[in-house]
Structure 1
Amino acid sequence: MESSESQLQIRLVTKQECFAVPDVPLAVPGSIEHNSLNELINQLIKENKSDFLKPKEFDFLVLGELLRVPLLEHLKEHNISTEIAIDVEYIERTPAPEPQDSLLHDDWVSGLHCVDKWILTGCYDYSVNIWTTHGKLVTSQKEHKNIVKKVAWINQTNPSQGFISVSHDLTGLLWQWEPGTDQIKPQVVLKGHEKGIDSVGVSPNCLKIATGGWDTNLKIWSSSFESDDEPAHKKVRGDKNLITRTPIHTLKGHKETITSTSWIDNHVICTVSMDHTIKFWDAELCGIKNEIVGQKAFLDSSWSSLSNTLLACSADRHIRLYDPRSSEGSVVKTTFTSHTLWVSSIEWSKYDEHLFMSGGYDSGVKLWDSRSPKAPLYNLEGHQGQVLAVDWSNNKYLVSGGCDNSVHIFRNNYVF
């Protein structure tokens, strides 16, 4: 019988030994998709493993990309011959995050950072707020005189070391907080930017802070709460007995606002800007190490220390994966497309080199696998307006905030 069902030879392989099946070629129809492969591998495991009682959900990697179309179509997209046996690697599917809570604020939420069981937020009503991951407001304070654009805990594992907030009032504030109490107090004010501050990053060793803003300058500051290490002219106490601090270094090079500031390590900072460029700076020598020129204004970025790659989103619907070390071809290694409006915020997982999340002006929040560029793993529904910030600093929680005045918490069911 003449059939469009051309047969393909495949080998099912896995790095997860507990799910391994005999390594023999199998003939499958070219039209086979993810669901049918999932049924097939579950059946084979059941036949070979007497203790395999409950079916598992698997994903399938073919030529380094997750299978999202019929197998034959996937091979044609990659110009691979159908005459040879194809290795199909199966991996346990990332489970869907579960909605846990929604934190209602009085205005737009533009800054987010979750450490331990505490969520730090910054808002357009000039407030900084601390919540528990279970939805209880612990404390709220308004010390800034304009919108709070970004917030960050100084230490990724110890919130008692305080936090930084940056604002369009041209200042940054270093706050002290005793975890569990409602007492938060600004101790140090960072002064030096000539226009609003849009981005902030804390060095891995927690000793330095980098900020970027509308004056196009990148500034590096001490994160210390002490004034003893300050030169005399930088040791001024002003309103409310705050220590006034000026920057250690000012790095010039961007032509438009700096929208994201990330430390690669304790000596290198990555910035992205609306001037269409990504710059890598030497924080010790105060110069540019590397530059990548894009096509659009950049809105956010996220560096992965696991894969040594950078995700960046621009004034379009796409997320791009950059490998700054690349010496062959384009530094853009992958483009991810699913959002229908601009992507405003992205963040790599800190425990899995393939997973990241994104938020967009289409009110969408998405969980991605970098091996699936055509479609996200999951859409995390709930926002009723533009998403301005996402955070995945705590493995257990995917957090997002935006123009609907709310922060949404999704529990990650894939925690090591």
Structure 2
Amino acid sequence: MNQTRAGAAPRVAVVGAGWSGLAAAVEATQRGAQVTVFEMGQRAGGRATSSLHQKSLWLDNGQHILIGAYRDTLRLMAQVGVNERDGLVRLPLCLAYPSGDGLKLTRGPALPAFLWAVLNWQGMPWPARWSLLRMATGWQLRGFRCAPSLTVAQLCQSAHPRIWQDLIEPLCVAALNTPADQASAQVLLTVLKDALFGPAGSADLLLPKLPLAQLLPEPALRWLQDKGAVLHTGRRVQQLTANLGHNAGWLVDGEPFDRVVLACSAAEAARLTADIHPAWSGGAAAMRYQPIITVWLRGPTNGWPQAMMALRAGDDAPAQFGFDLAQLGGEAGLYALVVSGAASWVDQGAQAAAEAVQRQMAAAFVNDAAWSTERTEVLAVRTEKRATFACTPGLDRPDMLISAGLVAAGDYLAGPYPATLEGAVRSGMAAARSL
């Protein structure tokens, strides 16, 4: 990052302290910039942070999952002082159901582990296993490329019904947070290529055992402060204008900066750029979103065989995945159930979703009376209405560059990935480098 005034480091404003904004701020600081961060909330982290629920119980605003392919996120965490072993539980990918069946990968190179898991998938009919291997071979031969207009449902129309139900549909909604009949096939193929067919460890599940705020936001803020960055929380930027003075650049609420990274939400970025670049602003404002509901239940203290459990979702069964938080450093008997692509349940209300999850768990563990609806308790329900953008085929996502010295960062920007923590981090780093 070049100095813009003789003997002075460039002044860079980062608007937003979510994961993309923090990644941009750390990268810009490391490259010698004088960084100021503006965050409208009282806490950093954006859509991936934590808040105190009861006494000493911290709950994240949704149960996030990382995978081994999130290499830039892991590097950023290490850079700001977070050791992977302290913050995450690394497990081979396991999509096991309460019945015990499911796809279970072993450690080691991803492709052999995937083949072994499919061939040894107990309870899955052989015709279903062969249909999955045929599809996966076809994806690989085509370089994990398909027509941009295809949905996941269209891409996988030849899949055996059991493979669709037990693997493809839950993987799609977990990775893209968009129903399979609406979700982009190309984006899912990109995710599968990087995870299931990437280097050893790429498909590993990395489950947070620290509150999300402690996993990156708080360590990153401490790192930035130690490096001399200026941090403003609880401050919403009201105006962004071109600086027509001697040094040019931009004015953030009247304060001059040489460069600006808009790492706020798409809606906020659209508001701030409406007069600067109306076309870009209009594209950001037009983004559509999918919600996620997370339900925390108190239930049996004997726990599950694994920290993460796949669940069979349906019209009356909202959750696709559950987490035994006792295995992730939390209380015994505390479980988080995740409803992705949750638009229909948002319409019905949080209470209806929570009660449906209770019934779903009672049915899933029908032989365990401790999971009856009378013996489980809803501890909390959180709805993130704009959890991710709707990852649909051919989606026209805004570009990073807005104007000279003004760039955007965020998981909603143009790129090959869905809305993920890794997408946010990569976008923030790329924005800082571009300056």
TM-score normalized with structure 1 length = 0.23
Structure with higher helix content: 2
Larger relative contact order (Cα-Cα within 8 Å, sequence gap ≥ 6): 2
Which structure is larger by alpha-carbon Rg, 1 or 2? Answer: 1
